[in-house]
Amino acid sequence: MLLLLAVAAALPVPVAAHLAPLPTLRHSDSLAAADLRLSGEDGALILTERSYRLALDPHTGHVTVATRDGTEYTGFPLAMSGGAPLPKGVHRVSRRSGGTLESRLLDAGGRVLQEATLQPSGDSFTVRFAALPQTLGPGAMRFFDDGAAGIELTETSGGFTPDPTLPQLTAHPAVGIAGRTPFAPPPFQIQLRTAPGWFGVGLVDVPAATTMRLAADGGIAVDYPLALALAGDDLGAGLPEGGLVRFPEFVVTLAADPLGGLRAYHDALSPRGESAAASPPGSRPGWWSQAMVDTWGEQVATRAARSSPLYTAGWVRDFVAEWKRRFGAGPITVVIDSRWQAQIGSAEPDPVRFGGVAGMRDLIDALHAQGDRVLLWWPMWARNIPRVPPATAVFRRTAPAEQVVDPTAAGFDEATAATMSTLLGSGPGELGADGVKLDWGYDIPLTLADPSLGWGATALYRYLAVLHADAHAVRPEALVDASAAAPQFASVTDAVRLYDAWSLADWNRRAAVVSAVDPDTLIDGDGWQATAADLVAHTVSSTVYGTPAMYFATRLADGRPIPPALAEELGAVVALSPDKGQGTARSLTGGDWEYVDGSTVRARSFAGGTGLLVWRNAGCGAAVSTGGGRVALPLGAARGLTVRDAAGKAVKATHLPTGLNLTMVAGQRYTLQRAGSSC
């Protein structure tokens, strides 16, 4: 075992932009030369892994990250900055111990004030931080930062964030759940562009925090509450050890592009079980893939939103009947959206508009009788509120306890179990729904009964973990549809909804993030705010990468009527969703998508999202074009493949190297049959 120890005179030690203090290891130099002189006078400590190399300067605690051939990604101090004044005589000790790099901040008497430990693996490495509470200051804690500088930003040329509330490419990426956001939470990872590729920094554990951002000096700032840290509470990594507060671990990934970085983030968490999906492909009930038909869009379009007297059990029945008449009959999942309750956050249906428990149960039983499934809209955090609460920090901080769901309060577990039993149970006094569509996940209360049990993202995780377990205890096939895109939350939800969006580009961006970082989790394509410009392409794309969600029967959000022919075409598209089986989604160039089961492509969009191919099995598939006319089906080798129209007549097609070229009628379903197979 190699063990080398060095002590600096005092801290903080300013970190140079490059590794100038190391005479044999400078920026752009080959790390191989330093590796050969590992025991020489420069003292550089080298770790070589499958896809990268690390060099630790033991005098400063600075780490350089490079490719195996020596091209530098960037560097950073193996340190954290709490912001509090440090006593005189502090000094840093850094060393390599076996395959681990360590750096500690000591006081004059040798007591450990802060420590950081870097643990490498083949394609990523983790860094753990811990500190005495008295070294922490009132601001956000900064990691990979020694108080003078953080990650070397001179080596970067921009950044990437998976948070939909921010520009995807930005100089100072951040992620958070501190306000209204489509992803609650987004993946806790940011990436920086460097010469050899993308340098990603993500959290392994769910943090007792709401935001993570790149600070101006290059540090990674996380808003852990100082009060919790000073009290020695669990911040997401467990209780303190040896008097040191432990912070959630970071994982550093290296990738060729941002989506590859998100996949690497998922893969780095996977061996720890931190990104395991509760319902991976192959384990889901088949009905989860059938089209969702949500009342909300039509409610808004017809002025029957929320507690409008127009929104009744009869309205829902008429809406479902009209949707099936226009888009096509067949099993669907009906989402009874806001607000069927007597009060927001109450499991009691409105007694007038929905006939109380008995009336809602009759409605759900009637939908079940015609082969449909039912999800109930459920507003997280709100409880027994007569009107929609303002989504403001003031309300989240000052709302009376009786109006807020508090996952840290006594009785929360019992109350949640009772609620899920009422919503999903099939006994007397229960509604018999098949699942819940969760909303307002971002409205995490700022005042909690016992924040040591959860604060910020950990409070949200606690809430979802209990709700998900209780829902599946009542109804094993229950679908819990939420907007939690962080991979750690895949174990406590069943689907990630893409939430309200205002363009096809927004939906595709969000779907690309989820499919990369949560590949085994079902995507709810959402469809609220779809316009005439993007309705077709979004319906096709979401049918490929997940479960399509339709929000309108007769008109769009802007009031424009949906032409009958277009409704038929879209109905033909979404009807194919269950046929693609259960797999993982991949975004393609040009805005198209494919859905893969193992190495087999089961579904694919084409022609910029205007056409859809789905394979029920290896020999039998179907295709729909919403544009019609002469199209090219991307089928690869298509010899021995017959295309038949709705009447069963073979369609003349020209063979291309990439598939078939043929004329299709818009909205008509065509059967694809390989020689020797039956459909």
CA angle 121, 126, 131 (to 5 degrees): 150
CA distance 225 to 9: 32
Mean pLDDT, residues 576-583 taken together:
96
Angle of the 313-327 helix axis to the 356-369 helix axis, nearest 10: 20
Residue 391 confidence (pLDDT): 58
- 460 within 8 A of 469, measured Cβ to Cβ: no
Strand pairing of 629-634 and 659-664?
antiparallel
Q: Residue 48: what residue type?
A: T
Which residues neighbour 541 within 8 Å (Cβ) at sequence distance 6 or greater?
504, 507, 508, 511, 525, 591, 592, 593, 605, 609
pTM of this structure: 0.92
- 436 within 8 A of 378, measured Cβ to Cβ: yes
Contacts 24+ apart (CB under 8 A), 222-225: 222/140, 222/141, 222/143, 222/247, 223/140, 223/178, 223/456, 224/140, 224/141, 225/451, 225/455, 225/456
Q: Tokens 């681990």 sit at which residue?
A: 100
In the chain, pLDDT over 90 holds for what percent of residues?
Answer: 77
pLDDT higher than 80, residue 392 = no
Q: How far apart are the first and last CA of the chain?
A: 64
pLDDT, one tens digit per residue, over 29-87 is 334 433 332 332 346 689 999 999 999 999 889 999 999 999 999 999 999 999 888 89
Can you give the three-state secondary structure of 251-296, one letter per residue?
EEEEECCHHHHHHHHHHHHHHHCCCCCCCCCCCCCHHHHCCEEECH
In the sheet with 641-644, reading across from the earlier edge strand, the strands are 584-587, 593-597, 600-606, 611-615, 620-625, 669-674, 641-644
Nearest to 579 by CA among 544, 608, 551: 544
pLDDT higher than 90, residue 676 = no
CATH architecture of 6-272: Distorted Sandwich (2.70)
- The SS3 of residue 600 is strand
Q: Is the peptide bond before 12 cis (omega within 30 degrees of 0)?
A: yes
- 478 within 8 A of 419, measured Cβ to Cβ: no
Strand partners, 442: none
Residue 502 confidence (pLDDT): 84
CA distance 234 to 236: 5
Q: Residue 309: what residue type?
A: P
pLDDT, one tens digit per residue, over 457-507 is 999 999 999 999 999 999 999 999 999 999 999 999 999 999 999 899 999
Tell me the average pLDDT of the chain. Answer: 90
Give me the helices (H) in 518-586, please. Answer: 535-545, 564-574
Nearest to 58 by CA among 78, 40, 32: 78
Q: Which of 30-34, 243-247, 609-613 has the lowest mean pLDDT?
A: 30-34
Nearest to 114 by CA among 139, 147, 138, 140: 147
In the chain, pLDDT over 70 holds for what percent of residues?
Answer: 92
